[in-house]
Chain A
Amino acid sequence: MKETILTFAAVSGLLGTLVAAALVFAGQVSLGVAKTSMLVATVVWFVAAPFWLLRGDEGQAN
């Protein structure tokens, strides 16, 4: 369950950045709002993605 939530959050972080840019292109949101959304999406990605992408990779770092 936890893994599913983290994977969903990570993918949302990626999509959030892309959707914010697309909405600026479509004239639906201001650039300021999009920049804030991209920052939030970035934080979400970097919090959630390591648990998803580096699963089973622990112990290899020096």
Chain B
Amino acid sequence: MAEFEREPVPESARLGFRSFLGQYAGEHVAGTELMIGPLFLASGVSAFDLVVGLLVGNLLAVLSWTLLTAPIATRARLTLYYQLERICGRHLVTLYNLANGIMFCFLAGAMITVSATAIGVWLDLPMPGLGDTMPGSAGWVMAVVAVGAVISIVAARGYRVVARFAAVAAPWMIIVFLAFGIVGLSQLGVTEVGDIWETAKTTIWTGGDPLPGQVKYTLWHVLFFAWFCNMAMHVGMSDLSVLRFARKSWYGVATGAGMYIGHFLAWLSASVLYAVQLQTDPTNTSVLPGPMAWHACGLAGLICVVVAGWTTANPTIYRAGLAFQAIVPSISRVKVTLFTGALATTAGVFPAVAMKLLGFVALYGLVLMPMGAIVFVDFWLLKRLGMRDEFAYRAGLKFHWPAALAWVLTVAVCLVASSQASVDLIFLGLPGWFVAALLYIVFSRIRQAEQATSLTPSPEGSL
């Protein structure tokens, strides 16, 4: 299929609603869901806070895709990278690619960690605990390296084969995640559907103190996490590259399939498995998807853990490779993907990323979010405010400092606010978006005033 990397997607290449439904449902039932669900429980969240927080937060995420990302995607029909290049200049996009690629590597590392926990069950390896940041044994390191090597080589050599395998595996994984929850509830002593909510409140998500080393989660934490765990994709505008193929902008609601299957059903099911583990042995606080899945669904559960990690690490490593390759285009995609896989595997060896996944996901979104605010302002507001959009493209710039400064300052302000005021990063995405938008408007006003007289329209014109 043509990628239309530097041109709008033509009418003939646009896709129907069902394509997006399937893609989003599959993409958000990932290996990392098996970590996030248990980490909620470890954070001492109550049943009401978790369920209501997820319902509302996921709805806000779907609305963000539908009302922020999709309208721009279906009007401009450009990839995020090309749209950013026109706004910010090629050199700034290179920096963005570097940040994006590094974040993808850490995310893929967490997925490799998840898959390695299934290998650990087979080989009876000592595995990391909830508070561990360093690898605890040579066996664990070898398991992660073996899984990472296989995933990396396959991503480099046969990305599309794995993508097709992932399409086949997705419906089955959704069913196995559901089975995790059903069997887990049974293991907690639930025998009737009517008893589920009572057990949820009194046995599973009882509220109270978090486990040692974890941050206490309230309804607001859950709501903002559900909303912003994919912040880079919706308000950060990464999914412009996906939704530009949509015939209508309302197709953004297809993300609801991913949110309510992956980020509701799968998280709750994985959380139930962790509750079973804690009920069986309260001292075993390790969040290890392999052993939890094995106890609930046997070999089918273990296969699900490996497949969930593998099929989602595959495109993540591939995307990171593409981001790095954009920086050094002379190196082959195979070499870049192998290098990227090695980075991800190194990250996966250290359990810190997976065990602190809630915090990492918040940081990942925050770092990439300002560029989404810049795209939004450039597309909708600059012309209304009497300024020129796509300034780098029109002025022939390779580095547009208003965008760079707005990006860096926003991230810095959020990080300082988080450390000084002890505010969880997940809450700073929303104010951060407005900070980035405001800074970009102010800096653009200053920059465009300097060049107002000499600026000439690009021969290619505006899109």
Task: Give chain A's interface residues, CB within 8 Å of chain B.
Answer: 13-14, 17-18, 20-22, 24-27, 31, 34-36, 38-39, 41-42, 45-46, 49-50, 53-54, 57, 60-62
**Given A53-B167, A61-B164, A38-B298 contact (CB < 8 Å):** yes
What band does the interface of chain B fall in when counting residues whose beta carbon is under 8 Å from A? 20 to 34
Q: Tell me whether B168 and A50 are in contact (CB under 8 A).
A: yes
Q: Tell me whether A36 and B298 are in contact (CB under 8 A).
A: yes
Q: Tell me whether A39 and B161 are in contact (CB under 8 A).
A: no
CA A62 to CA B172, docked complex, whole Å: 24
Chain B residues with Cβ below 8 Å from A62 are: 158-161
Closest B residue to A38 by beta carbon equals B300
Q: With an 8 A cutoff between CB atoms, is B421 at the interface?
A: no
Chain A residues with Cβ below 8 Å from B159 are: 62
Chain B residues with Cβ below 8 Å from A46 are: 168-169, 172
CA A46 to CA B183, docked complex, whole Å: 22
CA A2 to CA B447, docked complex, whole Å: 67
Which of A14, A22, A24, A25 has most B Cβ within 10 Å? Answer: A25
0/1 string, B163-200, CB within 8 A of A gives 1: 01001110110011011001101110011000000000
Out of A25, A26, A42, name the residue touching B300 (CB < 8 Å): A42
Out of B179, B190, B301, name the residue touching A18 (CB < 8 Å): B179
Q: Tell me whether B191 and A27 are in contact (CB under 8 A).
A: yes
Q: Tell me whether B300 and A35 are in contact (CB under 8 A).
A: yes
CA A39 to CA B179, docked complex, whole Å: 12
Chain A's interface: helix, strand, loop or mixed, by majority?
A: helix
CA A38 to CA B178, docked complex, whole Å: 12
Q: Tell me whether A39 and B172 are in contact (CB under 8 A).
A: no
Chain B residues with Cβ below 8 Å from A31 are: 183, 187
Chain A residues with Cβ below 8 Å from B185 are: 25
CA A20 to CA B178, docked complex, whole Å: 11
B210 CB to closest chain A CB (Å) equals 29
Q: Tell me whether B164 and A54 are in contact (CB under 8 A).
A: yes
**Given A24-B182, A61-B158, A14-B300 contact (CB < 8 Å):** no
Known: A17-B172, A17-B175, A53-B167. 16 other contacts (CB 8 A): A13-B172, A14-B171, A17-B179, A18-B178, A21-B182, A22-B182, A27-B191, A38-B179, A38-B298, A41-B300, A42-B172, A42-B300, A42-B303, A49-B172, A54-B164, A61-B158
**Given A25-B186, A35-B298, A62-B161, A54-B167 contact (CB < 8 Å):** yes
Q: List 7 A-B contacts (CB under 8 A).
A: A17-B175, A18-B179, A21-B179, A21-B183, A25-B191, A35-B299, A61-B164
**Given A25-B183, A35-B300, A54-B167, A18-B175 contact (CB < 8 Å):** yes
Closest A residue to B163 by beta carbon equals A61
Q: Tell me whether B164 and A20 are in contact (CB under 8 A).
A: no
Out of A25, A27, A53, name the residue touching B168 (CB < 8 Å): A53
A22 CB to closest chain B CB (Å) equals 6
Out of A24, A38, A42, A61, name the residue touching B161 (CB < 8 Å): A61
Chain A residues with Cβ below 8 Å from B175 are: 14, 17-18
Chain A residues with Cβ below 8 Å from B158 are: 61-62
Q: Tell me whether A25 and B190 are in contact (CB under 8 A).
A: yes
**Given A17-B175, A38-B179, A61-B158, A24-B186 contact (CB < 8 Å):** yes
